[in-house]
A and B are shown apart, each in its own frame.
Chain A
Amino acid sequence: MAIKAMTSKEVTKKVFNKEKLFVLDVRNESDFQDWKIEGENFQYLNIPYFELLDGVEGIMDKIPAEQEVLVVCAKEGSSVMVAEMLSDAGLDVFYLQGGMKAWSEHLEPVKVGDLKDGGELYQFVRIGKGCLSYMVLSNGEAALIDATRMTDIYLDFAKSKNAKITHVFDTHLHADHISGGRVIAEKTNATYWLPPKDATEVTFDYEPLEGGNDVSIGETKINIHSLYSPGHTIGSTSFVVDDQFLLSGDILFIDSIGRPDLAGLAEDWVGDLRESLYSRYRELSEELIVLPAHFMIIDELNEDGSVAEKLGVLFAKNHGLNIEDENEFRKLVTENLPPQPNAYQQIRETNMGKISPDTEKQREMEIGPNRCAVR
């Protein structure tokens, strides 16, 4: 029997299409518990590769014969070893090309809408980690919002659309992933916008992004209107694109809201968070399509893989937007918070330009799921 590589792109397709897949994850138990490939119809078996060195006979009866089997490890090596053993034992199996490292770095572009004057808006779904970034395209120009460090993907995508990247935004100083914004801006000579209140310690030049700023993309003037919406960080800024889309950064998600404790004390910002969600957002049109900077669970994905929902629907359904009592709200966002993201302080310092870890180190810092929300 043979072994074959399955790419992160192919696995992503199975997640989007809700296909079945049997995932044999051969990383150690704690790594598996912390973070794994999520799919609605995926089944899992976690047996560390080092318990299979003497053979796979002991697990053969746990692996379904009629289903596609994907062996997964951290960087590929161990999954190839185990896949070969399973193949020798008579099974056709796949291994995940590049392992969880590649899974964490895969970005899937999904078109979320057309703009009024012929432009397009794409969401880049970082399926393994839950980060969402955006490209606004209009008349040969492109703007990027909350880009990840996999900068080539955006540069190549813009090129394939014959667009020049002219503006790069970060909605806030990220604590869960390393921003690609500055690198992309340097490579393309684009303007790099950051909220100044989040950027007091940055070591590079940037354009201060203030609430009320309007930026046009392409000759057809696709408008990006910024809205100061502090709470997750003190500088957090949202964008209204083309009067249709609300890019909410890490303030509002589909099924959760932002956590206020990653860049300071939760207690200090809980009032800002409430003000942004319960007053400022309330003044906006309920028809706006909310496009957040993260998803937390796979259930937040739409049929086409996008993560988007009308603001009015979120006002009705998102628990975090429906807590009338201020004390109860305060408790929700300051107590029982999920663990903080891996290496989040180092990630913040990298995004400020204070430290410059190499790619391998950056990968390691970003390992695991994002944890920017409270439900």
Chain B
Amino acid sequence: MEANKVLDAKGLACPMPIVKTKKAMAELESGQVLEIHATDKGAKNDLAAWAKSGGHELVKHEEESDVLKFWIKKG
């Protein structure tokens, strides 16, 4: 999937993956996609819930070895 921006949040513990995601998202236009890489297991539920409450769309989610990857489209 084509992303407009990639955020590396690997090795960061909660709440940093979401803090950084929020910041990165603010720099995108509506409809653009942010790709996030994280290793904190809690990021999975939290990012999904955060995206939903912020009106964004979690388009895709993958797990590659220990890295969680997310694609979120800005609402």
Question: Chain A: residues with CB nearer than 8 A to chain B?
Answer: 28-31, 48-51, 53, 73-75, 77-78, 81, 364
Contact = CB atoms under 8 A, between A and B. Distances in A.
Interface in B7-65: 13-16, 18-19, 22, 41-42, 45-46, 49-50, 53
Given A74-B42, A75-B42, A48 B13 contact: no
Contacts of A29: 49
Contacts of B16: 77
A75 B53 CA distance: 22
A28 B45 CA distance: 7
Main SS at interface, chain B = helix
B46 A28 contact: yes
Secondary structure dominating the interface of A: helix
A48 B49 contact: yes
6 smallest beta-carbon distances between A and B, as pairs: A78-B15, A50-B50, A28-B49, A50-B18, A77-B14, A77-B13
21 contacts: A28-B49, A29-B49, A30-B45, A30-B49, A31-B45, A49-B14, A49-B15, A50-B15, A50-B18, A50-B50, A51-B50, A53-B15, A53-B18, A53-B19, A73-B14, A73-B15, A74-B14, A74-B42, A75-B42, A77-B13, A77-B14
Interface of B: 13-16, 18-19, 22, 41-42, 45-46, 49-50, 53
Contacts of A53: 15, 18-19, 22
Contacts of B49: 28-30, 48, 50
A82 B39 CA distance: 22
A29 B46 CA distance: 9
Contacts of B18: 49-50, 53
Contacts of A74: 14, 42
B45 A75 contact: no
A29 to B, nearest CB: 7
A49 B13 CA distance: 13
A78 B17 CA distance: 11
A78 B46 CA distance: 11
A53 B42 CA distance: 17
A75 B43 CA distance: 12
